[in-house]
């Protein structure tokens, strides 16, 4: 079905303004595969995945996080999920709203069941990266915080469908929105990546039970080397999970924004170093084609956080700051991203 001369490239990420996004030409060589819309902007349908994150950019300007790849693609729309199929990877977006009496635990298990059924049916068995956006993530419901319910349902689904992935989970982020129900979007591939753990943190899947009845099912980062080089000559992506001011398993610097940023960036650096040690690829945090997202709990803290991040990462690294809740009450900021090398 696909063309015989497929050019493989890494997935390339960009943050676009609405105008640049509207100007995208679907005939270009690097085709858009997915667009995560942050903020209020509703573009017309295009032949790739488009959906809203429910996480508004803190500067008030909508931004479209667009993924490109030099591949033939096709789009499928379903009632509860949309899917973009490329040749050796897919990007999916699964949604469940808050209607009905179902607990978030049950809903989280069901959305992961959906994900596992998709990757089985379409034969993309390796989940590289997930993003989990959870309405009202810190609210207690029926005696258990919704984030902890989410972790419980996700864990059950992993156990039921893919017990082989225990300890080899995808990279992930899990943050809170004010609306939108439950959104899980993901990249899965025909061939695997390499999970990375942070030597300075307890692996999240080994967190003790004080953080909830089941530990979070994610790896701190994941290395993916694609078959051929992208426009800047590199062929590797490092997907870095949501990273915060945690060392060991303990939250650090509960009341100190700048110290939380510093601890977070130390953790990001530790992951880039560890990924480099494992793969021989030189992943750099300070680089113009690194793309980071900063999740900020309190909009009033944006300027302090942004200054602290810029002091460490320099002005070349693109960081998009979004309003989001974070899965531990004392965490004020979390950063994730993708590095290319
Ligand atoms: C942490 O390090 C912060 O449950 O999928 C970060 C990234 C966090 C992913 C998840 C949670 C998740 O524990 C929280």
For 181-214, what is each residue's pLDDT tens digit?
999 999 999 999 999 999 999 999 999 999 999 9
Q: What is the pLDDT of residues 106-132, one digit of tens each?
A: 999 999 999 999 999 999 999 999 999
Expressed in angstroms and rounded, the spacing between residue 216 Cα and the centre of ligand 1 is: 7
- CA 246/CA 48 separation, integer angstroms: 37
Q: Which atom of ligand 1 is nearest to the CA of 150?
A: 4
The finding on whether 170 has its CB within 6 A of some atom of ligand 1 is: no
Q: Distances in Å between the alpha carbon of 245 and those of 129, 153, 168, 214, 257?
A: 21, 25, 23, 21, 10
Q: Can you tell me the mean pLDDT for 305-333?
A: 95
Encoded tokens for 161: 């469908």
Q: Which atom of ligand 1 is nearest to the CA of 241?
A: 7
Q: Can you tell me the mean pLDDT for 217-229?
A: 92
Does 1 have pLDDT greater than 70?
Answer: no
Q: Can you tell me the mean pLDDT for 66-70?
A: 91
Contacts of residue 284, defined as CB under 8 A and 6 or more positions apart, other chains included, come to: 272, 290, 339, 341
Q: Residues of the chain with pLDDT > 70: what percent?
A: 97
Residues acting as catalytic residues: 334
Expressed in angstroms and rounded, the spacing between residue 243 Cα and the centre of ligand 1 is: 7
- CA 233/CA 221 separation, integer angstroms: 22
Give pLDDT, residue 74: 95
Q: What is the pLDDT of residues 6-53, one digit of tens each?
A: 455 678 899 999 999 999 987 777 889 999 999 999 999 999 999 999
Contacts of residue 196, defined as CB under 8 A and 6 or more positions apart, other chains included, come to: 219, 220, 221, 222, 223, 238, 271, 274, 275, 278
Encoded tokens for 164: 């082989």
Q: Can you tell me the mean pLDDT for 217-230?
A: 90
- CA 156/CA 275 separation, integer angstroms: 29
Expressed in angstroms and rounded, the spacing between residue 4 Cα and the centre of ligand 1 is: 40
Q: What is the pLDDT of residues 69-94, one digit of tens each?
A: 888 899 999 999 999 999 889 999 99
The finding on whether 246 has its CB within 6 A of some atom of ligand 1 is: yes
The finding on whether 149 has its CB within 6 A of some atom of ligand 1 is: no
Give pLDDT, residue 9: 66
The finding on whether 133 has its CB within 6 A of some atom of ligand 1 is: no
Q: Distances in Å between the alpha carbon of 298 and those of 108, 166, 252, 310, 326?
A: 26, 34, 18, 18, 10
Does 2 have pLDDT greater than 90?
Answer: no
Residue 305 confidence class, pLDDT cut points 50, 70, 90: very high
């Amino acid at each position: 079905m696909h063309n015989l001369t497929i050019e493989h490239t890494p997935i390339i990420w960009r943050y676009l303004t609405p105008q640049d996004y509207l100007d995208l030409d679907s005939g270009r060589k690097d085709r858009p595969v997915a667009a995560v819309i942050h903020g209020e902007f509703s573009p017309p349908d295009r032949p790739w995945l488009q959906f809203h994150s429910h996480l508004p950019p803190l500067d008030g300007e909508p931004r479209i996080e667009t993924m490109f790849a030099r591949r033939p693609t096709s789009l499928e729309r379903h009632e509860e999920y949309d899917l973009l199929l490329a040749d050796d990877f897919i990007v999916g977006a699964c949604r469940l709203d808050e209607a009905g009496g179902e607990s978030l635990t049950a809903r989280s298990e069901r959305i992961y069941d959906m994900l596992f059924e998709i990757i089985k049916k379409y034969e993309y068995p390796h989940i590289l990266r997930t993003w989990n956006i959870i309405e009202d993530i810190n609210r207690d419901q029926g005696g258990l915080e919704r984030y902890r319910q989410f972790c419980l349902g996700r864990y059950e689904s992993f156990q039921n469908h893919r017990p082989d992935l225990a300890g080899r989970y995808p990279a992930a982020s899990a943050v809170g929105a004010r609306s939108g129900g439950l959104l899980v979007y993901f990249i899965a591939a025909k061939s695997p990546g390499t999970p990375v753990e942070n030597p300075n943190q307890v692996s999240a899947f080994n967190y003790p039970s004080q953080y909830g009845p089941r530990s979070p099912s994610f790896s701190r980062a994941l290395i993916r080397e694609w078959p051929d080089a992208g426009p800047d000559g590199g062929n590797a992506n490092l997907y870095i999970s949501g990273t915060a001011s945690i060392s060991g398993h303990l939250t650090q610097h509960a009341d100190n924004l700048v110290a939380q940023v510093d601890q977070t960036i130390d953790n990001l650096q530790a992951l880039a170093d560890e990924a480099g040690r494992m793969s021989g690829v030189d992943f750099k945090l300070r680089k113009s084609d690194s793309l980071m997202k900063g999740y900020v709990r309190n909009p009033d803290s944006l300027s302090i956080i942004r200054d602290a991040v810029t002091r460490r990462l320099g002005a070349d690294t693109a960081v998009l700051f979004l309003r989001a809740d974070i899965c531990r009450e004392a965490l004020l900021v979390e950063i994730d991203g993708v590095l290319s090398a």
